[in-house]
Structure 1
């Protein structure tokens, strides 16, 4: 795995809807910009060797970093892969939609649910939203949220930007009734 850069983004929301948020809501994102392991090979039928060579190491690298940046236990989490213009969306999906990648985050966050994800192809500076869901119960609506991310110079055409996101709590000032009230 060739890493060009790692970017960390942390936001802290102190006021929402004109009211204080206590404790402040924190969301952290850690993104690695890596060389696309399939770049320059044309159509690759078997993505397995690239997955085996990259996905686990990437998950092992990013999972502790996003939790360290969050500075609190993760209550919601998500992931993303943005593939540079010379790659396929499937290249990003291959890296993030495998237990070899996601289980590192699941274990580090004491999570049991599937990680929600976004994957797409784009040029440097592409804006993307990472969806977040509760780490143990995907029906808890207060934790359904997104975080907007942009890395100004990534991905280059032969790169993939892979990111993990975590939130310390649900949406600030959430007021939706529990899902069970509608069933």
Structure 2
């Protein structure tokens, strides 16, 4: 399917790409400088005016795979290919006339999540954020390692914002990724953590 046909099928109004790279942090350059990017698709909400008992799956099965391919394709173009991506996340912002569940229908099912994971060659569950908001609200999208979700160095966020979206009858769907960890990560990891319990810290907590 051509991209213009896909755009018409999902009611796509615009695609917004945001990209950033940290040059210095704390006055020094990171040992592993990373780029982050988010790609947001602004689309019509196909469920506006429908009942809260309405089954959302028919539209989900049609629309979500198109969004997964579109957004991950733009991410890979922005970040240098699948081999460069180390962390990922997803998000949805529902316009004021819609339900939070409408955003969930487009990012929380295998039709989006499984495909995004496959396109980005990841294994982890994809962390997420979703909300309902007026146009122009900033949403912070969490990211973590695409294969090792407990890897603390890759716990990070990227902010996304569409100045004129979502309109009341729209949804913004976001895929985001990073090519590396936070600048200067140094809080250890689960493989090096001491055993910490309330009992082990009793003197410090008393």
- What TM-score comes out, normalization by structure 2 length? 0.85
Show the counterpart of 1:110: 121
* Match of residue 49, structure 2, among 40, 54, 68: 40
Q: What SS class does the counterpart of residue 111 from structure 2 fall into?
A: helix
Q: In the aligned structure 1, how far is the partner of 2:50 from the partner of 2:100?
A: 15
Show the counterpart of 1:152: 163
| 1:75–1:168 contact (8 Å) kept in structure 2 | yes
Show the counterpart of 1:26: 35
User: 1:27: how far off?
Assistant: 0.1
Unpaired runs of 5+ residues, structure 1, are none
Whichever of the two has the greater Rg, that structure is 2
- The C-alpha deviation readout for 1:95-150, integer Å capped at 9, x for no partner, is 10011112222112210011100010000001110000100011100001111111
Q: In the aligned structure 2, how far is the partner of 1:20 from the partner of 1:53?
A: 44
How is 1:114-133 mapped onto 2 (pairs within 5 angstroms)? 114-133=125-144
Q: In the aligned structure 2, how far is the partner of 1:182 from the partner of 1:81?
A: 37
Unpaired runs of 5+ residues, structure 2, are 1-9, 196-206
Q: What SS class does the counterpart of residue 14 from structure 1 fall into?
A: coil
| 2:32–2:183 contact (8 Å) kept in structure 1 | no
State how many pairs are aligned.
183
Q: Does 1:182 align with 2:191?
A: no
Q: Does 1:80 align with 2:91?
A: yes
Show the counterpart of 2:198: none
Show the counterpart of 2:22: 13
* Match of residue 181, structure 2, among 162, 170, 173: 170
**Which structure shows the bigger proportion of residues in strand conformation?**
1
More divergent stretch after superposition (24-33 vs 44-53): 44-53
How is 1:54-65 mapped onto 2 (pairs within 5 angstroms)? 54-65=63-74
- Provide the alpha-carbon RMSD of the alignment: 1.2
User: 1:22: how far off?
Assistant: 4.3
Q: In the aligned structure 2, how far is the partner of 1:68 from the partner of 1:103?
A: 20
Show the counterpart of 2:203: none
- What TM-score comes out, normalization by structure 1 length? 0.95
